[in-house]
Amino acid sequence: MTRLLVPFAIRAYLAGGLVAVTAPVIGSFLVQRRLSLIGDGMGHLAFAGVALGLWMGISPVWGALGAAVLGGFVLEVLRARGRLAGDLSLALIFYFGIALGIVVLSAIDRFDASALTVLFGNILVTDWTDIAVIAVLCAAVLGVTAVFYKELLAVALDEETARASGLPVDRLNVLLLVLTALLVAAGMHVVGLLLIAALLVIPVAAGSRLAHSFRGSMLWGVAAGFASALVGLVGSIAQGTLASGGAIVLTAIAVFVLATVIGRRAARRHPRRVGA
Amino acid sequence: MPVTVELTGVRFGYGAEPILDGVDLDLSAGEFAVLAGANGSGKSTLLKLCVGLLRPADGSVTVLGGSPLDPAIRRRIGYAPQGLRMATSLPVSVTEVVAAGLTPSKGLLRRMDRRDWSKVNAALESVGLGDLSAECLFELSGGQQQRAILARALVADPDILLLDEPTTGIDQRLRPALAQELRRRADAGATVVAVSHDPDDFHQECDRILVIEDGRVRQITHEEFHTHLALGGGGSR
């Protein structure tokens, strides 16, 4: 029990809670727009950014952020112009990012255990500086999303009609990807760059099983994300050797299964009305 | 009444073959027009040109005295595309869909207030969805979804309403009320254009029936419209 309340555990709860609460907020827009895999693409690019950052003597977080923002921007331009099919462009981004990261890290003789930490996270070694950076990034994501919520929702619901009604759709799309990049950078320490996309998507999927609205789905997603982070962290800290990032994501999947069961039972008990 | 939509010599095609080939059309404030035509004749294309989603290969489109690419002008247009165009990945309530129609006119950084929600409720009532506002859109019937999309186009009280097959899937007994609602909007000064297969949906309420044939728009009577349908008119592109 005392192990669960030692300082490194408290820092882990804080970092995990911040990212787990923020990720479903931005993830809701991505899932609704069928861009669930874009967080993965950015995570892979961010890995290359971390490697390039180490090579150039830049903080890994800033390297990850820069690469994710740049990659997200390029991806959106390609998608908007129809130059590449969505899954093909994402696949290219995945392979390019991970390969570049490995090549650069090996070239500077840093392809060691620390690479695994970047890819899969190690929340238990976060310090207060890391938490401050995570808090600033998450606050930026939540604040900007709150300001542009109705615009981002209108585009997520129907991009063509949003464009026809005069909304700056292209700029809002870039904004969404920049916010995703911020979240990816924030989540690097928590679950790692390969698993951060899971926190963007799985809690939202769980929330969608319990809600009848976008906002409800988002709020349930936030609750599911927070619960997953807390239970996953407590489990990994109590056990002692479990990887915290993987434990959080597996817990999120369990929450999704639970939400699906609950949602189906509720639907059977209260069938919806249908008319003309 | 001032002219609100003006197309002059508009040509447009998706390939080498033009769909619209020299369209000239004037529509005025307070006018309610029904647009008909065979499958692929260019009805939906014409609406998209008017709202700036497509650009003419030749000719000009003027809406409310300016370009339909101007966001300030687009904000004064209510556009309802054909069918549901949104991903069904997450649940979305009927209220959220309709409120999205107010977003452009609200402007950035301004939150929805009580008056906005009253407008949303009024739009829902006008299409008969008042009691389903909290329901998930994707759990409703096709006709109810269509009415929600129509309410989204109506909610901001636009100066121009461009509606692509607005009665598709809607119960026959509900259609007269919707036609009357569009008539009421036109009487209040809006220009209303509805693409429709069925002249009986609107002929009691509309001012003009327009048909696209051979890439051009011409006005016909209700009786000619019936003849047109008998010859295989309808559909969209």
Question: Which element (helix H / strand E) includes B161?
Answer: strand B160-164
Site from A161, A169, A273 to mutate, B interface, most B CB atoms within 10 angstroms: A161
Of the partner residues B73, B90, B170, the one whose CB lies closest to the CB of residue A32: B90
**Radius of gyration (Cα) for chain A, nearest Å?**
19
What's the average model confidence in pLDDT over A12-36? 94
| B235 and B169 in a common domain | yes
pLDDT digits (tens, 9 = 90+) for B182-211: 999 999 999 999 998 776 788 889 999 999
pLDDT digits (tens, 9 = 90+) for A32-84: 988 888 888 889 999 999 999 999 999 888 999 999 999 888 878 877 776 65
| B179 and B153 in a common domain | no
B81 in a structural domain: no
Of the partner residues B91, B134, B144, the one whose CB lies closest to the CB of residue A208: B91
Domain count, chain B: 2
B82 in a structural domain: no
Residue spans of the domains in chain A: they are: 2-196
Q: What share of chain B is helix, strand, coil (3-state, %, to 5)?
A: 35, 25, 40
| B91 and B70 in a common domain | no
B21 in a structural domain: yes
Q: Which residue has the higher pLDDT, A128 or B224?
A: A128
In the prediction, which pLDDT does A2 show? 75
Which chain A residue has the Cα nearest residue B142?
A: A276
Complex ipTM, two decimals? 0.89
Task: Determine, for residues A276 and B79 on separate chains, whether the beta-carbon distance falls below 8 Å.
Answer: no
In the prediction, which pLDDT does A113 show? 80
Instruction: Please check the confidence at residue B235 and state whether its pLDDT lies above 50.
Output: no
What's the average model confidence in pLDDT over B76-83? 91
In the prediction, which pLDDT does B229 show? 61
| B228 and B162 in a common domain | yes
Q: What is the CATH number of the domain that holds B36?
A: 3.40.50.300
> Percentage of chain A with pLDDT > 70?
95
Q: Model confidence at B50, in pLDDT bands (50, 70, 90)?
A: very high
Range of the domain at B114: 87-157
| B147 and B91 in a common domain | yes
Residue B58 sits at φ, ψ, to 5 deg, of: -150, 160
B116 in a structural domain: yes
Tell me which chain B residues have a C-beta less than 8 angstroms from the C-beta of A24: none
Show the tokens assigned to B76: 């004064």
Is some CB atom of chain B closer than 8 A to the CB atom of A157? yes
Q: Which CATH superfamily includes the segment(s) A2-196? A: ABC transporter involved in vitamin B12 uptake, BtuC (1.10.3470.10)
| B113 and B72 in a common domain | no
Tell me which chain B residues have a C-beta less than 8 angstroms from the C-beta of A214: 90-93, 96
| B115 and B100 in a common domain | yes
| B233 and B173 in a common domain | yes
Q: Which residue has the higher pLDDT, B225 or A231?
A: A231
- Given a contact cutoff of 8 angstroms between Cβ atoms, the answer to whether B192 and B186 are in contact is yes
In the prediction, which pLDDT does B40 show? 86
Name the residue among A6, A113, A5, A97 with its Cα closest to residue A51.
Answer: A97
Is some CB atom of chain B closer than 8 A to the CB atom of A271? no
What's the average model confidence in pLDDT over A190-201? 91
Show the tokens assigned to A274: 């249908």
Instruction: Please check the confidence at residue B232 and state whether its pLDDT lies above 60.
Output: no
Core vs surface per residue B195-208: b (16+ CB within 10 A) or e: bbbbbbbbbebbee
Q: Model confidence at A120, in pLDDT bands (50, 70, 90)?
A: confident
| B69 and B33 in a common domain | yes
Per-chain mean pLDDT for chain B: 90
Å between B90 CA and nearest CA of chain A: 6
pLDDT digits (tens, 9 = 90+) for B87-140: 788 899 999 999 999 999 888 778 889 999 999 999 999 999 999 999 999 999
Domain boundary among B157, B172, B194: B157
Name the residue among A88, A98, A87, A85 with its Cα closest to residue A45.
Answer: A98
B139 in a structural domain: yes
In the prediction, which pLDDT does B119 show? 96
In the prediction, which pLDDT does B111 show? 86
Question: Which element (helix H / strand E) includes B78?
Answer: strand B77-80
In the prediction, which pLDDT does B236 show? 46
Helix (H, G, I), strand (E, B) or coil at B26: strand
Per-chain mean pLDDT for chain A: 90
Q: Model confidence at A86, in pLDDT bands (50, 70, 90)?
A: low
pLDDT digits (tens, 9 = 90+) for B62-71: 999 999 999 9
In the prediction, which pLDDT does B208 show? 92
In the prediction, which pLDDT does A83 show? 63
Instruction: Please check the confidence at residue A185 and state whether its pLDDT lies above 70.
Output: yes
B98 in a structural domain: yes
B43 in a structural domain: yes
pLDDT digits (tens, 9 = 90+) for B131-173: 999 999 999 999 999 999 999 999 999 999 999 999 888 888 8
Instruction: Please check the confidence at residue A108 and state whether its pLDDT lies above 70.
Output: yes
Domain boundary among B97, B125, B157: B157
